[in-house]
Each structure stands twice: as structure tokens, then as C-alpha cells.
């Protein structure tokens, strides 16, 4: 199962390298695209949940790294949730 790394630029301008255990993330997020915080979080939840399920279907257990990455994204995004103009940018994907 091909893993994907992706880079996220937060509203405070710092960049984080993030992980998905499958290419499912590419169905929900696009490189060089800005997302409102709540939209980014919802897309990330859907993508990383699907990615974890793909691992479960293939190997018989869910991917804890997908759940960990989602938790990290949610914690990092929390300070920006109430900022109506805050945007999160997906910078790029690595394969």
C-alpha cells in the first residue's frame, strides 16, 4: 500500500510534514490549495479514516499511524478553529 507524505502550511505560517498510509488522502486534499480550517479537518478525517480502513482490509488491523496523524492535525488546528478567515494550505504531496 503506497504511503503518502504531505506538507501543510498552518495559518501561523509554520509547515508540518504529515503522513497517510495510503493514497486516499489525494481524493480529499489537493496540493497548492487553501482550505478553511473546519473544511480541512473534515476532509482530513474522511481521508485518514478511509486510509486506515484500507489498511484494515488489506492486513486485518487498522493503521494506528493514520489515527495518530489525525489527532495531531486536530490538536494543531485547534487554535485556529474560531478564526473565520484562517486557512490551511496543502503545499505538496510526496510519494
Please name which of 25, 46, 24 lies closest in space to residue 90, comparing C-alpha atoms.
25
Contact 35, 88 (CB under 8 A): yes
Contact 17, 5 (CB under 8 A): yes
Q: Which residue has the higher pLDDT, 88 or 59?
A: 88
59 Cβ partners below 8 Å, 6+ apart? Answer: none
Q: What is the pLDDT of residues 8-26, one digit of tens each?
A: 999 999 999 999 999 999 9
What confidence score (pLDDT) does residue 61 get? 85
With a threshold of 0.85, does the pTM exceed it? yes
Q: Provide the residue ranges of all domains of the chain, joining segments of one domain with +.
A: 4-94
Residue 65 C-alpha cell reads as 499511524
Amino acid at each position: 500500500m503506497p504511503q503518502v507524505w504531505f506538507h501543510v502550511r498552518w495559518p501561523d505560517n509554520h509547515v508540518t510534514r504529515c503522513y497517510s498510509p495510503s493514497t486516499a488522502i489525494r481524493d480529499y486534499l489537493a496540493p497548492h490549495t487553501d482550505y478553511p480550517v473546519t473544511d480541512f479537518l473534515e476532509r482530513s478525517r474522511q481521508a485518514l479514516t478511509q486510509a486506515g480502513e484500507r489498511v484494515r482490509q488489506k492486513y486485518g488491523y487498522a493503521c494506528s499511524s493514520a489515527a495518530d496523524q489525525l489527532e495531531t492535525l486536530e490538536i494543531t488546528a485547534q487554535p485556529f478553529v474560531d478564526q473565520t478567515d484562517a486557512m490551511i494550505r496543502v503545499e505538496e504531496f510526496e510519494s
